[in-house]
Amino acid sequence: MATFRPAMPAVGLRLTHRCEYIWGMFQSPRLFTHTAAEIPTAPEWAALHGFGQQVLRTDRSGLPLEWIDYREAVRLHFMGQVAYAFGSTLFRLRGGVNARSGLRTVVEVSSIVATTGQTHNPSARRRDYTPPLNNETLFKRDGHLCLYCGGRFGPTLLSRDHVRPFYLGGVDAWNNVVTACRRCNNHKANRTPEQAGLQLLAVPFTPTYAEYIYLKGRRVLSDQMEYLRAHFPRSSPLHCRAG
């Protein structure tokens, strides 16, 4: 549960000047003090302390919206836009010291936060919404497998193949593209799988918005994965492919 608690010592992560400074920026400078000297950049600090872990943001009803970083999560807490939070506690951040009481503010950031305000889920406004297509999410959709030979490869050895070639009316869309290793893609060339003597191991599909949120996640935690999986269609191949 993500809450604000004054004068509680931080447990687990030992966070000093940088976190005090970030949190202090959201507080009144007349009531809080913080040290801004020799503060590393946010990326440097995140890399050093593991702050790169993403937080899953949902709307009040629980529909997945997007991934946010810990700074955005703290901002949402301070603005009173967090309706509730659950999952594991990712960060426990110490804020500025209240000049009147001498107490220090502490905020806990959970792995999943439900927020109020305007929704950023485009599928809620358009039933025909299709997530943007890019290689990173395509490769993750297909489990980094070549859907022709079945081999598993790193991203640099994979490519996007159009099942139905452009000259036959094929389009660059989720339902017409699959992950292929460069060897199979070169062999298939500008032909259909049948013409090239290849067989697709799985049918390409367009992900729903919840599935797309999963595909965009850099490192999805087990509780976040369990939550997202509950929003996948029952027939989704990602039930088996997702870790």
Residue 222 lies in a domain: no
Distance CA 97, CA 104 (A): 4
What single string gives the DSSP state of each residue in 36-102?
-TTPPPHHHHHHHHTTT--EEEEETT--EEEEE-HHHHHHHHHTT-EEEEEEEEEEEEEEEEETTT-
Whole-model pTM: value is: 0.75
Residue 146 lies in a domain: yes
On whether both 34 and 88 belong to a single domain, the answer is yes
What phi and psi, each to the nearest 5 degrees, are found at residue 29? -65, -15
On whether both 106 and 167 belong to a single domain, the answer is no
User: What pLDDT is recorded for position 29?
Assistant: 33
162-196 CB burial, b ≥16 within 10 A, e <16: bbebeeeeeeeebebbbbbbeebbeebeeeebeee
On whether both 135 and 185 belong to a single domain, the answer is yes
On whether both 201 and 134 belong to a single domain, the answer is yes
Structure tokens at 206: 């367009």
Question: Structural domain of residue 108, as residue ranges?
Answer: 4-121
On whether both 83 and 157 belong to a single domain, the answer is no
Count of CB atoms within 10 A of residue 19's CB?
25
Structure tokens at 204: 């390409």
What single string gives the DSSP state of each residue in 167-216?
GGT--SSGGGEEEEEHHHHHHHTTS-HHHHT---SS------HHHHHHHH
Residue 220 lies in a domain: no
Q: How many domains is the chain built from?
A: 2
Count of CB atoms within 10 A of residue 46's CB?
17
Domain end point (choices 98, 121, 144): 121
Q: How far is CA 129 from the centre of its chain?
A: 19
Report in angstroms the alpha-carbon separations of 231 from 27, 133, 148. 37, 20, 29
Distance CA 94, CA 18 (A): 10
Domain end point (choices 96, 121, 146): 121
On whether both 134 and 194 belong to a single domain, the answer is yes
> What is the chain's pLDDT, residue by residue, as a tens digit (243 residues)?
444 433 333 333 333 333 333 334 344 333 333 333 333 344 444 444 467 899 999 999 999 999 999 999 999 998 999 999 999 999 888 878 878 888 888 889 999 999 998 766 666 566 778 999 999 999 999 999 999 999 999 999 999 999 999 999 999 999 999 999 999 999 999 999 999 999 999 999 999 999 999 999 999 999 999 999 999 999 999 998 876
Domain end point (choices 76, 94, 121): 121
Strand partners, 58: 64, 114
Residue 162 lies in a domain: yes
CATH number at residue 136: 1.10.30.50
User: What pLDDT is recorded for position 128?
Assistant: 77
On whether both 58 and 136 belong to a single domain, the answer is no
User: What pLDDT is recorded for position 243?
Assistant: 65
Residue 238 lies in a domain: no
